[in-house]
Structure 1
């Protein structure tokens, strides 16, 4: 478990379903990722990807004792390279909580796991790209018309990365 001033970051448990579904079923929150999830999709994702495979972390707001965010934290086939990503409940946007949590996850990857690199991707999402830059990540490239959005339009996929040697 990781702890920041306002959050706890831990592995998911079955009791996280309601809060995770609140996030994943919101069309605005899911706008630049995937179509909103129904209950069956959320449960399958929680039980498989989050709990069984342990490829994601839950962000808990200390004061509210509520799950407010999902963090993708997955090692890649390449040794010591981790993919990160985040989706937060919109009620907690613009409060610095995603930065606080992701900064802790990145530091953990480099200092505790000996990561060589962390990377993230975004589909033309200004908020996510802004956070990636604030976290010290650099733009590494763009795949043109790589993914379709919820309306079926082709969108560019932007890659950002941070090397361990960049961390103090």
Structure 2
């Protein structure tokens, strides 16, 4: 279909034409505007005119809009959708005249373009990116509902410069944002994290029967091996689902000294974590080491967007692990925990985004 005319509260978005060359050059000829764009700055209006004449508004593979400010009648920006065949998705792009920055025009125009892609083109995937050094553009992209998926790179079309970028994606169902792979074996310098197996009951009982270990976990201290066998069977049954994440913490793949697991998740967005380790291994960095491996797997392989956890405020040692992982405090939930025989406890909440995790490990 042809590039249509779209309207927002303050803007008209219409097809570009060669007559727009002087107004577009006011943007495309400004180094402040083009600094992080894929094409180099236009030297003259002739460069801009040549680009405008190359546009094909009937191709169906790109939709280029001029942003017309209603109040002044001036063209103040350009943006649109561009088909990426290799990814089978549309890419959102935009730029704005410098004197109209920081006034919400970019978000207003981009939101309308994304709405056009969803409702008129019935598209299911929209991507975009911005240079790491240009974080304000990321806020516009997030305002349009796109989600950070990772880091990448892009070049100026003439190959003169390469930028590290943050990549974003919107999908209609959200399902493509995560890739569930289940509990896979993970290795660290000192540990092997694996699935629980049928012979692990005795090892579980060794720490689950210790009140010091179970004081702040959800289950009661195990009184017999039968209690450990029961919870082990529950964990084994969980492995039938590919979205189940529950690791036995071992040193050599054999004796189990603790557990780390995703205690809850919504399937596509965030995951709640919990962990425990036998008392002889406290304060030796093992829990942090195990959690780092699991976080890396959940963020970079499964592609969860956010991981959260919490601890009883009377158990600050668990909070130290969360802090070492780069998790940020997110407030206190009063009387969040209840355990028969121990009463209620306040929960200090922590969370970390995939974006923060990748930034912290650089």
The TM-score normalised by the length of structure 1 is 0.90
State how far apart, in whole Å, the 1-side matches of 2:344 and 2:264 are.
27
- Per-residue deviation, residues 96-127 of structure 1 (Å, max 9, x unmatched): 11111110000110111111011112112111
- Residue 233 of structure 2 is aligned to residue 47 of structure 1: yes
Report deviation, 1:66.
Answer: 1.9
- Residue 282 of structure 2 is aligned to residue 93 of structure 1: yes
Structure 1 contact 31–150 (Cα < 8 Å) conserved = no
- Residue 160 of structure 2 is aligned to residue 160 of structure 1: no
Aligned pair count reads 166
- Residue 333 of structure 2 is aligned to residue 143 of structure 1: yes
State how far apart, in whole Å, the 2-side matches of 1:105 and 1:42 are.
24
How big is the alpha-carbon RMSD for the aligned residues of Structure 1 and Structure 2? 1.8
The TM-score normalised by the length of structure 2 is 0.44
- Residue 245 of structure 2 is aligned to residue 61 of structure 1: no
| Structure-to-structure mapping, 1:109-128, within 5 angstroms | 109-124=298-313, 125-128=315-318
Q: Which runs of 5+ in 2 are unaligned?
A: 1-184
Q: Comparing both chains, which one has the higher relative contact order based on Cα–Cα distances under 8 Å and sequence gaps of 6 or more?
A: 1
State how far apart, in whole Å, the 1-side matches of 2:261 and 2:351 are.
15
For structure 1, which segment, 81-90 or 149-158, has the greater mean C-alpha deviation from structure 2 after superposition?
Answer: 149-158
State how far apart, in whole Å, the 2-side matches of 1:150 and 1:89 are.
22
SS at match of 1:28: helix
Report deviation, 1:151.
Answer: 4.0
- Which residue is equivalent to 1:3? 187
SS at match of 2:216: coil
Distance 1:53 1:93, change over 3 A: same
SS at match of 1:36: coil
- Residue 294 of structure 2 is aligned to residue 105 of structure 1: yes
